[in-house]
Amino acid sequence: MKINITKMSTPIEEKIDQKLKVRTGMVAVSDGKSKPISMRIYLSMEVLKLQREDLEQAVNHNKPPLDSKERMIQITRQKVGGLGLSIKGGAEHKLPVLISRIYKNQAAEQCGQLYVGDAIIKVNGEYITACNHDDAVNILRNAGDIVVLTVKHYRAAKPFLQRNVDKEEKLDNATNGEVDEEWDLPNRRSISPKSGHSRHGSNTSACSTNLKKWIDVITVPLMMAYVTRYIFGTDKLRRNAFEVRGLNGARTGIIHCDDSAILSQWLKYITDNITGLTNLQMKLYNRNFGVGERIEYMGWVNEAVSNSNQPWQSYRPRFLALKGPDLLLFETPPCNIGDWSRCALTFKVYQTMFRVMRESENVDERQHCFLAQSPGKAPRYLSVETRQELLRVEAAWHTAVCSAVTHLKCKTFLVTYNGRSAGLTLDWAQGFSLSYECSGEIIWRFKFSQLRGSSDDGKSRLKLHFQELDSIAIETKELECPQLQNLLFCMHAFLTAKVAAVDPTFLTSTIP
């Protein structure tokens, strides 16, 4: 499915509805093979919709019913605008109570079932055919928030309603009170009866002609939705295009933008909404977890999958989470608390090396890549969609490492020192210490701040270079560790946590 966002001076329209910000824009939709169909993209805080115009409604919007049967129409009164209609006639004129005007974007028009020339027979089941004009106005004003009108269309009323526009304006405004309760306040020239122009237009047909009705075709929930600019499963970027996939299986198809500026706008608005919803869900989950088990990050990434029989690698979406001391990779996002314990791929963050790949190190055309490597497990080559998201993952990683180390407190590794079995302990409070296995007596101890460097042979041999506290002398401790990579990664985690503890701005400096 392909979607093109057409060029326009203001490609994304915004409508503020209390706490909800809605953005819309015209697009063209296809499956990538057939001819695109004009549609509208509708973005709210919680959903993204693709909508098509209701052509039947558009054709018949200004065309009243062909027959003159009675119709029951329900309207919900608006706080501003009331019922959104004006009336003429009444028993004193020997005329029915006729709808003379329907105001744009207000209740009567939005219901799509009322027309100029409709006679109001009943209001909430009560006949008003014998009422004079003023009584009919008062009944409509006091009919409640949900109003059921019984109406019947009179074609013969059209000439009467279109006669003498200036007089009609005065009559409508003087008797309506439904559009704006403050119509007659001083200094409101735009709606004064004397102006001869309604604030909603000079006639009903002009107001109604511009109204379009939209029917939802595709609805994609944004909670933990997946957004990508890449051709699915590859490293090939679509030019000025993206797609959105929801947890319920709904897909937008491919959304093509006319230029990179419009693309950036849509991506930002959509990803900001997804991030906001995901963070809200994260907070709800964290109510069920202890301090050391809290979620620091969760979101979609793409993992490279090497194909042994193909000269290229493919990609699959993974849902990544940093929770307590663990890095978790899910096939699908956890939708309840129980799902968190059923993750197949788990890595301890204090035993995993996280590294952002430089552009020159990227293995293909994928951008914003990073590597997660843990001893005994295959390295995970991952990518995200934007640099901002990469910075967000990196910041969450450092926070997760610091939290994991402070809760772990210490970690001991079996080593050989001077030919004897010993234990090298990394202690959050004390630093490095070594004790022989048999006696438990501490042979030497250094603070983390005393470490000036290290070197290893990539197998088992490790040299640690410490500076004495009261001199510039460097003392080297050489040892062997069968779990060398594990030890090195853990050392890196403890040192990262120490830097963050000494300089709290270390964590915030990596946040986008």
Instruction: Express each pLDDT in 331-353 by its tens digit.
Output: 999 999 999 998 989 999 999 99
Instruction: Express each pLDDT in 105-124 by its tens digit.
Output: 888 888 888 888 889 999 99
Instruction: Express each pLDDT in 359-390 by its tens digit.
Output: 899 888 999 999 999 998 889 999 999 999 99
Distance in Å from the first CA to the final CA of the chain: 33
Apex CA 426: angle with CA 424 and CA 431, to 5°? Answer: 110
Whether the pLDDT of residue 6 is over 80: the answer is no
Burial of 136 (0-12, 13-18, 19+ CB in 10 A): buried
Contact between 310 and 389 under an 8 Å Cβ cutoff? The reply is no
Contact between 383 and 368 under an 8 Å Cβ cutoff? The reply is yes
pLDDT score recorded for residue 169: 34
Element (DSSP H or E) covering residue 211 = none
What does the longest C-alpha to C-alpha distance in the chain come to?
116
Measuring CA to CA, which residue among 189, 184, 207, 212 is closest to residue 85? 207
Model confidence at 308, pLDDT cuts 50, 70, 90, reads low
Q: In this prediction, what percent of the chain has a pLDDT beyond 70?
A: 79
Instruction: Express each pLDDT in 146-203 by its tens digit.
Output: 899 999 988 777 666 665 433 333 333 333 333 322 222 223 333 233 333 333 333 4
Instruction: Express each pLDDT in 32-72 by its tens digit.
Output: 677 777 778 899 999 999 998 877 655 555 566 766 788 88
Beta bridge partners of 298: 321
pTM, two decimals, is 0.67
pLDDT score recorded for residue 162: 60
Backbone torsions φ then ψ of 115, nearest 5 degrees: -140, 150
Whether the pLDDT of residue 20 is over 70: the answer is no
Q: In this prediction, what percent of the chain has a pLDDT beyond 90?
A: 51
Whether the pLDDT of residue 313 is over 70: the answer is yes
All residues at 6 or more sequence positions from 321 whose CB lies less than 8 Å from its CB, including other chains: 295, 297, 298, 327, 328, 330, 334, 343
Model confidence at 441, pLDDT cuts 50, 70, 90, reads confident
Q: Which two tokens stand for residue 213?
A: 């009705």
pLDDT score recorded for residue 320: 97
pLDDT score recorded for residue 10: 40
Whether the pLDDT of residue 101 is over 50: the answer is yes
Model confidence at 509, pLDDT cuts 50, 70, 90, reads low
The stretch 2-12 carries a mean pLDDT of 41
pLDDT score recorded for residue 58: 52
Strand order in the sheet with 295-306: 345-348, 326-330, 313-323, 295-306, 380-383, 369-373, 353-356
DSSP letters for 448-503: GGGEEEEEE-SSSEEEEEEE-TTSS-EEEEEEE-TTHHHHHHHHHHHHHHHHHHH-
Instruction: Express each pLDDT in 215-263 by its tens digit.
Output: 899 999 999 999 999 998 999 998 888 899 999 899 988 888 878 888 8
Measuring CA to CA, which residue among 63, 74, 103 is closest to residue 87? 103
pLDDT score recorded for residue 503: 62
